[in-house]
Structures are given as C-alpha cells and as structure tokens.
Amino acid sequence: MKKNTIITIVIVVAIIIILALVMRSPAKIATTDLGTDTTNSTDANSTTNPNTSNTVSTSTSASNSQTNTSQTISDQYGTATVIGHSVAGRPINAYTYLSTQAGSTGSKEILFVGGIHGGYEWNTVLVAYQLMNYLKANSSTIPANLRVTVIPVLNPDGLYEVVGTTTGNFSASNVSSDSTTVTAGRFNGNNVDLNRNFDCDWQTSGKWQSKTVSGGSAAFSEPESMAIKGYVETNKPVAVVVWYSAAGGVYASNCHDGVSADTKALMNNFAGGSGYPASDNFDSYATTGDLTNWLAKIGTPAVSVLLTNHTDTEWTRNLAGIKALLIYLMGQ
C-alpha cells in the first residue's frame, strides 16, 4: 500500500511538471514572435556611410517620419557639412571658411551657391571651387567678423550627368559633347528645374526661355531645395550670392515687396567690383519658384550673378566682386 502511494505521488508530480511546461510554452513562443530580434541589432541612432569611414548620426522626427542626417567631411578643399542629398543620394556639401586673424568671430555668414542647374551651367560649379581654393589659401583675407560658406554644387545629379563627377575635379574636356545630355543636366533626378521649386510665385510648370519645365509637385518638393532651405533657416546668412549662366550681370531679388536696401547694396557692390552690369530685375522671361526671390521673401538679402557664357568662370572679375562684398559686409 505504501509502495502504491509513493508511485501515485510520483505520477501526480510528473503530471504537474508536464502541465507547467505546457502552460509556459505558448508564452515563450508569443514573446519570440512579437518581440525584437536582438541577435543582429545596431545602434538605431548611428549608421555607417558605406562610401566613407565617417559615422553619420541620424535622428527621426515623429511628426513627419523623415530622417535628418548630419555629417562633417574633410577633403582638399577644407571642411564641409553635408546639408542633404540629391534624388540619387549624392551629398550636397557646404564648406565654411573663417579668418585666421587674431580675435576673429565669424559672427556673420555670407553664402555662395553654384551648380543649381548642374552640368548645364557647369562653369558656375568651377567658379565656386575657385573661390574655395582661394579662401583656403588666403583665409587671412576674410574679415574677422565674417564666415564664408560655399555650396559648390546644389544639383550634383545634374552635374554628374554632364561631366561624370560631382566635385570640382573636371575641366571643359570632361563635358559631354552631346547637347541633349548637357541640357538634361540642368534638371535634377526627378527632371525638375530646381530654380523653379522655391516658394515665390511657385507653379507646377515654369518657363525657361521659351520652354516649359517642371517646377515640381509643390514648392520644396525636391530634396536639393529642402537641403538649402534647411541650411538657410538654420544658419541665417546675412547675404547670399547664387551663380548662374549665361547673361553677364548682377540681378537683385524680390518677391513683390520691391528690392530691399540691403539687397541693392549687395548688387551694387558686387557689380561695382566685378564690372558686371547691375539690374533690379531679370526680365528676359518670367521666372517662378526662383531661389533668390524666395530668399527675398523670407528677408534674406540675395543676388544672382550670371556669368557671361556657359564656358568661362571669369574668375578675376568675380573675385573682385567678392572682395568688394566682403569689404562692404565687414563694415555692417
């Protein structure tokens, strides 16, 4: 009897253990199915750029589910911040230069922009790189109260289409001989004219000479436009110069409020130094969604400098205009 009792107790205990294991098994399976797999996890706020050894810090905005990245690079031209990326994912770099004079503050920024029309206006990219080389070699000439930022290529996809690179390491011999390719290089990867994508008189379709071009699906619909918008709103430059080609002149900006006194001073100083003619308005044809006019709309003094043709940088006269601007801004 005693033996039978022991056997019964052993059986009961075994049944209890089996039932306990059965009860726990579904919970474990549910946890495995619904939980996070940590066997191959990485830091959610850090990603490595596959093209460089730099680490890119990222943050995600819960309101719009967009990921904003910032990255600093150094190359032969100096140190740059990656302010955004093109449709094809190419970086848009902003190089900043400070004076080496004792007591320099760099409290005010002047911004120069090239390559908004990519490879179609490839000489605007080269003149921007010439400025960068000059500033790196002659930083003592920068007024102590200024910092100079250069975005040499706002439309890297369009530049690559025509010259096969997105940097200043090219010459006229690298430019495509096919006129259709060169014209296509004016636009970004979505076939949008970036200088019709800003918020002043924006329209879905814009004009370029006698042609109809895309202004995008909305103002700032393009990543390149958003990149410079974010940069300007964050850094608040006191003056902006945007290079184009080709008409040979310095043009003021406005968005139906007239030309501001500060913008007129920029125009007159650059024109006076460079010898380009100055004009309050670009009236060769109607433009919508223009970058400098949007800058005027938000209160940022800005001028367009149009090189005389599509091949020359006219560096000597542009440098003279730049120096005149720096001297003017030094006293402001």
Asked if 17 and 135 sit in the same domain, the reply is: no
Look at residue 55 and tell me whether its pLDDT is greater than 80.
no
Q: Same domain, yes or no, for 185 and 295? A: yes
Determine, yes or no, domain membership for 122: yes
Instruction: Examine the pLDDT at 57 and tell me if it is beyond 70.
Output: no
Q: What is the overall mean pLDDT for the chain?
A: 85
Read off the amino acid at residue 232.
V
Q: Is residue 129 part of a domain?
A: yes
24 against 267, higher pLDDT: 267
Q: Are 195 and 269 found together in one domain?
A: yes
Give tens-digit pLDDT for 103-136.
Answer: 889 999 999 999 999 999 999 999 999 999 999 9
Residue 21: pLDDT above 90? no
Which residue pairs, CB below 8 angstroms and at least 24 apart, start in 36-39? none
Q: Is residue 181 part of a domain?
A: yes
- Other Cβ atoms within 10 Å of 39 Cβ, number: 5
pLDDT of 156 higher than 60:
yes
Whether the CA torsion 263, 94, 130, 245 is positive or negative: it is negative
Which domain, by its residues, includes 291? 69-330
At a CB cut-off of 8 Å and minimum separation 6, what does 187 contact?
118, 155, 158, 193, 194, 213, 214
One domain for residues 24 and 80: no
Q: Do 29 and 105 fall within a single domain? A: no
Q: Are residues 27 and 77 in the same domain?
A: no
What is the average pLDDT across 266-293? Answer: 95
Q: What is the pLDDT of residue 200?
A: 98
> Which residue from 202, 214, 230 is spatially nearest to 290, judged by alpha carbons?
202
Q: Would you state the pLDDT for residue 94? A: 98
Residues 133 and 237 in one domain: yes
44 inside domain: no
When comparing pLDDT for 40 and 221, which is higher? 221
What pLDDT sits at residue 220?
A: 98
Domain assignment of residue 184, yes or no: yes
- Pick the more confident residue, 44 or 74: 74
Give the pLDDT band of residue 70 (cuts 50, 70, 90).
confident
Report d(CA 207, CA 288) in Å as an integer: 8
Q: Which pLDDT score, from 0 to 100, does residue 161 have? A: 98
Residues 155 and 252 in one domain: yes
Could you say which DSSP state residue 251 is in? E
Whole-angstrom Cα distance, residue 16 to residue 104? Answer: 80
* Total structural domains within the chain: 2
One domain, residues 91 and 13: no
pLDDT tens for each residue of 229-250: 999 999 999 999 999 999 999 9
267 and 316 inside one domain: yes
Q: Do residues 266 and 303 lie in contact, with contact meaning Cβ atoms separated by under 8 Å? A: yes
Collect all residues with Cβ–Cβ distance below 8 Å to 53 and sequence separation of at least 6. Answer: none
Sequence-distant (6+) residues with CB within 8 A of 122 are 115, 159, 162, 163, 170, 175, 185, 310
Does residue 61 belong to any structural domain of this protein?
A: no
User: pLDDT (tens digit, 9 = 90+) per residue, 157-200?
Assistant: 999 999 999 999 999 999 999 999 999 999 999 999 999 999 99
Residue 51 belongs to a domain = no
- Predicted confidence at residue 5, as pLDDT, reads 53
Whether residue 118 is found in the same domain as residue 16: no
Quick one: pLDDT at residue 152?
Answer: 98
Question: What is the pTM (predicted TM-score) of this model?
Answer: 0.80
Which residues have a Cβ under 8 Å from the Cβ of 70 and sit 6 or more positions away?
56, 57, 81, 82
Question: Is residue 274 in some structural domain?
Answer: yes
More confident residue, 51 or 318: 318
How much is the average pLDDT of 310-322? 98
Read off the CATH number of the domain in which 115 is found.
3.40.630.10
pLDDT given at position 283: 84
Shared domain check, 81 and 33 = no
